[in-house]
Structure 1
Amino acid sequence: MSRLLYVGQQTADLLADSVDENLERYSSLGFDDLEASGDWRIPLSVHGDLALLNGLNPEKGQEAEVHNSMLVGRALANLTPSLARENRIWIRLSHVEALSFARARWLTGIHQETLAKAVRTHFFASTWTGCRDDHAISRLWWNHHIASKICSDEPEAVLSLILSRADLRANLVERSRVGTRLQLSRAIVSELRDNDALRSSEPQFRKFMKLLNAQGAGQYVEVWSEDKLKAFVSECAVYAWR
């Protein structure tokens, strides 16, 4: 374990403003010479096991996404949600410790004319949605964080479910109204685990979520009993097929 590092604001701004000039660094050369000086090594009081990041899998697909989310979750287990919104932590990781992974996962096969756009999307996390959904490493941390909140005993099983389709992640991770209402999220995940037909049908799942949002609007589900919430979610699942 070692203390996590982040870059200074001046370096963060310079990198963001110099993407086009640094495309060869992103593609092959790297940033080791720049990292050796300047404000690239500002320490946090938080420790992490960054050696685990060497095991990140750059392949696409659910299996790799689950594996990588679990790995980043373990590597950065001491990171808090407030710190996890700090762009400069993620800039450091995607430009140094996890550069090889980020490059292989997000820049391989990219046409030269769209390379700069891909870099800005996956190597910087300047907005909340970019941090949660797009950055090469931070999106994996948020996957794991939300899965652990939903079920601390089985985060990998939750990840396997919510990462099986893009619309599942969109509703359980990207839409804050659901992601921040943990009791509701837990009930939805429980229903999806038990309901193969709902889980495998994108149109019915969309209808299910619309029903949940419509019927649950203004309801204080946080004070409902587990049985009442489960019955409410199950009823919406039934009506999704009508």
Structure 2
Amino acid sequence: MVAQLKYLSDAALAQLKGAVISNVARYKADGFLEFADDPGWNIGLGVEYDEGLLGTLDRSTPRTVAAIDLANSRIVGKALANLSPTLANEERIWVRLSHIEAFDYTRERWIGQAGDEAVPKLVEAHFFASGQTKIRDDHALSRLWWNYQIARTCNPDDPDEALSLILKTADIRSNFVERIWMTSRRNIASAVLGLMKSEPWVTDAEKNFRIFMKSLNRLGGGIVFEVLDTNEINLFLKDCLSHARTLA
């Protein structure tokens, strides 16, 4: 079911942020649906999304973060496929989604049975997204969108496979996704994913991946990857792998 994405006005966003403590009961129960059509909450973005698909988000409590994020990243990435990276850095879009269209998911996934005293901090972390880092790593929906976007950028032919590699564990995700310098360089990022697939040692243990990434940082300082061809990058990564294994 296709629908139009909406976003909040600056005034509505500021009001919400200033009322987190007084709204604890709302966050733990029925939410903010009554405000969905208010002018400050209902500004059209001119971008279509798959409302039905977004509604299939898995709300269950995960045994591991990576396990549940894999399926949900695919859902959010595909449901909001028309959203551009520029718009995806707009907090007001994500705040609307987490308070209205995906409120039930966000509440159950990130608040659950938390006590009243813990709710404000959880709300600030996962219902709001002030700044690129929080949008990429913390907000309930935007972090999932960015997972899929990065996977799609690194491997447009098979983003699902790339996503599975990136989200094998939460630690691998943080070491890969949070390195903006690398994921903004598609050639090196794609090559790292290829190595993760072809060399099981790299992701067999979280410590292996951390060591590998440290080796990449150490050996890659000063290298202009944009001027290297695929074979040169792959040879460089093999050197990084050999170096990492000596440190493991």
Partner Cα separation in structure 1 for residue 176 and residue 226 of structure 2: 16
| Partner residue, 1:41 | 42
1:205 aligns with 2:209: yes
1:3 aligns with 2:4: yes
| Partner residue, 1:55 | 56
Q: How much has 1:156 moved relative to structure 2?
A: 1.2
More helix by share: 1
Contact 1:27/1:107, CA 8 A, preserved across alignment: yes
**Which residue identity is paired with 1:43?**
G
Partner Cα separation in structure 1 for residue 44 and residue 109 of structure 2: 27
Alpha-carbon RMSD across the aligned residues, in angstroms, is 1.2
Contact 1:73/1:141, CA 8 A, preserved across alignment: yes
- Give per-residue Cα distances to partners, 1:46-74, cap 9 Å, x unaligned: 11112211100023233321111111111
Contact 1:171/1:178, CA 8 A, preserved across alignment: no
Q: How much has 1:23 moved relative to structure 2?
A: 0.8
Please identify runs of 4+ aligned residues in structure 1 that moved more than 6 A.
none
Aligned residues: 242
Identity score, percent: 39
Name which of 152, 157, 167 aligns with 2:156. 152
Q: How much has 1:29 moved relative to structure 2?
A: 2.1
Equivalences for 1:1-242 in 2 at 5 Å?
Answer: 1-59=2-60, 60=62, 61=64, 62-242=66-246
Partner Cα separation in structure 2 for residue 148 and residue 239 of structure 1: 29
Structure 2 SS opposite 1:97: coil
Q: How much has 1:179 moved relative to structure 2?
A: 1.5
Moved more, 98-107 or 51-60: 51-60
Q: How much has 1:191 moved relative to structure 2?
A: 0.8
TM-score (norm: length of structure 1): 0.96
Structure 2 SS opposite 1:55: coil
Partner Cα separation in structure 2 for residue 165 and residue 144 of structure 1: 15
Q: How much has 1:15 moved relative to structure 2?
A: 0.4
**Which residue identity is paired with 1:97?**
E
Q: How much has 1:150 moved relative to structure 2?
A: 0.6
Q: How much has 1:111 moved relative to structure 2?
A: 2.7
TM-score (norm: length of structure 2): 0.94
Q: How much has 1:106 moved relative to structure 2?
A: 0.4
Moved more, 62-71 or 134-143: 62-71
Structure 2 SS opposite 1:29: coil
Partner Cα separation in structure 1 for residue 43 and residue 11 of structure 2: 12
